[in-house]
Amino acid sequence: MPRNANEELKRLRTLGDKLADELTRFAGSMTFVYVHTFWFGVWIIINVGGLGLGLAFDKYPFGLLTLIVSLEAIFLSTFVMISQNRQAKAAEIRSALDYQTNVKAEAEIELILTALDRIANKQGVDISDLVLQHNRARDLAK
């Protein structure tokens, strides 16, 4: 039974992997940009006194906002790296499955060629020109 890389990858995904993928997907969207633009705009308007000085809680130079944005950047970069590591693992699994498929196909092709050679010999058909042509093409590919 052939192995399906996508099914194996889905089976290997942990809750943390799913969370990292979803956060990375959201962070890479225009919705993320819009939400942050709105949030920063409101934060700055409130804290420069645009809605009244009594509402200001993080006066210029916005130290609390800077702290929050820095922490967010740390966590977002970590989630991006987690997703990238998982994607690298997925590529390795796909590569291993491709290799297994190629080895199996090569063995089956070799069996077919052997059977074809036997059939040709039994029928008295000369295929030496095909074999020579095949060997030249193989040598050129190396």
Query: Considering the domain boundaries, does residue 125 fall inside one?
Result: no
Q: Residues 78-105: what's their mean pLDDT?
A: 91
Structural domain includes residue 106? no
Amino acid 95: pLDDT:
92
Q: Which domain, by its residues, includes 33?
A: 5-101
Q: What is the pTM of this model?
A: 0.66
Q: Please state, in angstroms and as integers, the Cα–Cα distance from residue 121 to each residue in 108, 116, 118, 127, 131, following that order.
A: 20, 9, 5, 9, 13
Our count of domains for the chain comes to: 1
Task: With a cut of 90, say whether residue 135 has pLDDT above it.
Answer: no
Q: For the segment 23-57, what is each residue's pLDDT rounded down to a tens digit?
A: 999 999 999 999 999 999 999 999 999 888 889 99
Is 70 domain-assigned?
yes
> 138 in a domain, yes or no?
no
Burial class for 4, CB neighbours closer than 10 Å (0-12, 13-18, 19+) = exposed
Residue 75 lies in a domain: yes
Q: 129 falls in which pLDDT band (50, 70, 90)?
A: confident
Report if residue 122 sits inside a domain.
no
Q: Alpha-carbon distance 29 to 21, whole Å?
A: 13
- Let me know if residue 56 belongs to a domain: yes
Give the residue from 76, 82, 7 showing the smallest Cα distance to 36: 76
Question: Residue 40: what are its φ and ψ, rounded to 5°?
Answer: -65, -40
Distance separating alpha carbons of residues 23 and 50, to the nearest angstrom? 32
Distance from C-alpha of 57 to C-alpha of 54, rounded to nearest angstrom = 8
